A and B are shown apart, each in its own frame.
Chain A
Amino acid sequence: MKSKPLPKWLGLLPLSLIVFLSGCGQMTVLNPKGPVAQSQYDLIMYSLWFMLGIIVVVFALFAYMIIKYRDRPGRKDSDYDPNLHGNTMIEIVWTVIPIIIVTLLSIPTVTTLFDLEKPPVTENQTTEEPLVIHATTADWKWFFSYPEQDIETVNYLHIPTDRPIEFKLTSADAMTALWIPALGGQKYNMAGMMTKLYLQADEVGVYDGRNSNFNGEGFAFQTFKVHAEEEEDFNAWVEEIQTESPELTQEQYDELLKPGLTEKTAFSSTHLDYVKHHTNEGMGYTIENFRELYDAKLHLYPEDIERQETFD
């Protein structure tokens, strides 16, 4: 009988994973720039070792079985046992080991989950008091309101380094998610709700942020740059916006809420007094006012995204 061993190279897959991982330093999620992303990175790396272990064990057993027990000419009948159908001892072993692994994975998961609900604490923080920023989305743009500084930016974000940022997330229309992979994981923005997300940058730099939750035609365009800078630079920037940018009127804000794309702008006041999208009263505001505008299509092609990036 003709018999061919199954892909032996399949056993090499875990090795290729290691090769891949060695080049991972460049990947955003595996290259954390703040304590939140760091704790998630630690958790991912911790779990990855278990996963690699499981892969190696199963692949090795699999390769052993299909090579040793393939039906080949001249095989002895002594190692063929068609009625072998169970072994209580070994079945208990391979039930208990996964339970142990799940337990070992659950403990750091749960502790990290509770930690992420609090502002991060690091050694070189300028202050433990988080900077509050309201991050509001509307099709397909970002509003960042700084209530203490009384300024608001559209489609870009400045934050001080070494200070926790408390994002208060909400949406004027569809559900979205604020994701800055270099600084940490995402959370949803929902109209009628306010979710809280703590992030912090340890290093000065410009990071990519975006809406990661699909919300229609302009989804790919709903990105922003995060400018993390030293406290003095940040304060200087705030002052510049306060003095040089116009105030945001309600008419202007309404105009910005209409579905579509907008370039980056800044204002020396916030929209927070005009409408509270996170409340039951405010959640329908955009739809009630601009419902008919959602019928129009923007006809967006990849070249449009390049054009938009020249705003940088």
Chain B
Amino acid sequence: MALDEFFVTGEPLIYAGMVSIALVSAAIIFLLTYFKRWGWLWREWLTTVDHKKIGIMYILSALVMLFRGGADALMMRMQLAFPSLEFLNAQHYNEIFTTHGTVMIIFMAMPFLIGLMNIIVPLQIGARDFAFPFVNALSFWSFFLGAMLFNISFVIGGSPDAGWTSYTPLAGAAMSPGPGQNFYLMGLQLSGIGTLATGINLMVTILKMRAPGMKLFHMPIFTWSTLVTCFIIVFAFPILTVALALLTIDRIFGSQFFTLTGEGLPMMWANLFWMWGHPEVYIVILPAFGIFSEVIATFAKKRLFGYSAMVWSMIIIALLSFIVWVHHFFTMGAGAFVNSVFSVSTMLIAVPTGVKIFNWLGTLYKSKIEFTVPMLWSLAFIPSFILGGVTGVMLGMAAADYQFHNSYFLVAHFHYVLIAGTVFACFAGLVYWYPKMFGHKMNERIGKWAFWLFLIGFHVCFFPQYFLGLDGMPRRLFVTNIAEWLPLNVISTVGAFGMGAGFAVFVFNIYYSYRYSEREKTGDAWGHGRTLEWSTTTPVPFYNFATVPYVDEIDPYVRMKEEGKTTFDEKKLKPIHMPSYTGQPIIMMGFLAFASFALIFEWIPLAIVGLLLAVGSMIYRSFDYDDGYYVPVDEIKRTERKARGL
């Protein structure tokens, strides 16, 4: 393969991308070398199996991906507001909306939430780590390398351009030749391993490693949302794995599962994709509901209203999420009866969701609301999400959906639920638990600036799109060529840049707070913590809990504070068993990433070498008898006395 086929050529924007990638990589390598940080990086981060550090790496990667997906979004908005600038051509626009969607869902929303789960769930249930810390590291590296693989596509080989849904036959080898679509398949496949493994890992952690006395219905609501999400992951992700594998075999080895030739079944892809894809939507929204519940209860200074109704509605939503996938293609002509069934099942989801909304309002009733930044994000979620929710019900009415489908009405709807739901929750959760992660809060004043810019930008950007949809503007259109559509598109673009500014301020706040924020002295940073994570010291010791607390109620930390108790009991100290750090996960996944990269370019011998190395490293791992080490009581005592100022 010639070099000019390997690298993407001819686009000034992409040359700029290449230069900035080269510069940033060079800068990172220089800084690490100059400050002699390579050893530190390897010992403390790349080989870590500590759930808190892995969580931080997840969140940092997700923020980078949010930047990338956001940059894609701004380019699209530029193009649609100023079509006469000739900023992008059709092909380039198609690549950008494809990567925007894929990056935001797979490499931003899920990792961000999984990062928060990583850090918080073990702390909430009084556990010292995940059930399988090694697998947790493996999961992170599979996600990270999958994301990197997907992201380099725009400079090497060419980006995928068939939409994040990658519908066949368009995405098949015949109509989308070249490596672009393979990047999509292998990037998702590689990171999907990690998601599935995390689902199993967290499920086992929550089911088996809760503090003594903690029944399922004593668990904090965020942990509950994680548990329900894990069940969805475990049932939904195998479908994606199989679908991706079949399409990969189609494209690379010439089978005919989804092709037009050889009597393939191209529409089967749409079914398989959405049988995973709809549950996927709930994978990114249920944890968000969990975060909002925690934040609202904390800053309302009140118990969560209707705890068990909240739990049951999540369980019902999870079950319903598996029987609504057809609503993504009501227009496929399945017939009135099939569409009726899926129409009703879709609208039924509004019932448990409505119950949750009312329970949040019930939590606010007779409360004392403190408007901190995480609370602002959570409160703004309620009215914003309602606008997305009711339009979701309208889309669920199949007969009307024939008019909404594939239009900007749909685009507005899913951005309203995914941004007001998932993105607001990511910000709320990050700001809320930030002091637990980094030992200082994010600046509140700058945080409010970021919040208002983003919130107003969000509504200005997406509210007009409902009307564009009703005026017949289809999604994925690279040009605003009908004059009536232009004004609303310009407004929408202004809003998008407002969101961009909000994100920039948010990121600046991370730097500003690192420099200037007051360092935390207690573990209960906000003063109103209700659950076990706030009972730990800040910074959290690597073993989390020196002595495992006994819990037999919801919000155990409220009573602990009233009674002046802590989870620490020096008399009960025993040596703590902890897992050893290891470089095997990153190496194992490195081999798999290498094999995937080779497969993308259909270099079969190299792919086989990579696969053999990966399998070899797994065999090597199975003979590894390092089962961790014990932290001696003296060391625990020293650490705890220092942290608690005893």
Contacts and interface: CB of A to CB of B under 8 A. Distances in A.
Interface residues of B, number: 99
A212 B474 contact: yes
Interface in B462-487: 467, 469-472, 474-479, 481-482, 484
A280 B262 CA distance: 9
B393 interface: yes
Interface in B364-419: 364-371, 376, 379-380, 382-383, 386-387, 390-391, 393-394, 397-403, 405-407
A175 B307 contact: no
A58 B123 CA distance: 34
B604 interface: no
Given A91-B309, A181-B472, A212-B405, A6 B371 contact: yes
Interface stretch (A110-118, A146-154, A246-254): A110-118
Contacts of A193: 267, 333
A173 B83 contact: no
A179 B406 CA distance: 10
Contacts, number: 326
A124 interface: no
B368 A71 contact: yes
Interface stretch (A127-135, A215-223, A226-234): A215-223
Given A186-B331, A219-B476, A287-B174, A82 B262 contact: no
B90 A190 contact: no
> Which of A10, A109, A191 has the most CB atoms of chain B within a 10 A radius of its CB?
A109
B84 interface: yes
B305 interface: yes
A91 B167 CA distance: 42
Nearest to A41: B403
Given A105-B393, A287-B260, A84 B366 contact: yes
A174 B175 contact: yes
A102 interface: yes
Interface string A50-88: 010011001101100110011100010001111111110
A100 B577 CA distance: 55
B358 interface: yes
Contacts of B380: 6-7, 10
Contacts of B624: none
B261 interface: yes
Contacts of A191: 169, 260, 266
B390 A51 contact: yes
Contact of A85 (B301, B304, B391, B471): B304
Chain B contact residues: helix, strand, loop or mixed = helix
Interface string A257-269: 0000000000000
A24 interface: yes
Contacts of A174: 167, 169-170, 175
A280 B266 CA distance: 12
Given A4-B371, A116-B399, A213-B406, A188 B302 contact: no
B266 A297 contact: no
A44 B402 contact: no
A47 interface: yes
Interface in B135-182: 161-163, 167, 169-170, 174-178
Interface of B: 83-84, 86, 89-91, 94, 161-163, 167, 169-170, 174-178, 259-263, 266-267, 300-309, 329, 331-333, 335-336, 339-340, 343-344, 347-348, 350-351, 354-355, 357-359, 361-362, 364-371, 376, 379-380, 382-383, 386-387, 390-391, 393-394, 397-403, 405-407, 467, 469-472, 474-479, 481-482, 484
Interface of A: 1, 3-7, 10, 13, 20, 24, 26-30, 37, 39-40, 43-44, 47-48, 51, 54-55, 58-59, 61-62, 65-66, 69-71, 75, 79-87, 90-91, 94-95, 98-99, 101-102, 105-106, 109-110, 112-114, 116-117, 139, 169, 173-175, 177, 179, 181-182, 184-188, 190-193, 195-196, 208, 210, 212-220, 280, 283-284, 286-288, 291, 294-295, 297-303, 305-306, 309
The 8 A-B pairs of least Cβ separation, nearest first, read A185-B402, A195-B333, A284-B261, A112-B399, A65-B364, A181-B472, A51-B390, A300-B90
Given A51-B394, A186-B405, A287-B261, 7 more contacts: A27-B467, A51-B391, A61-B361, A71-B370, A109-B340, A186-B402, A212-B474
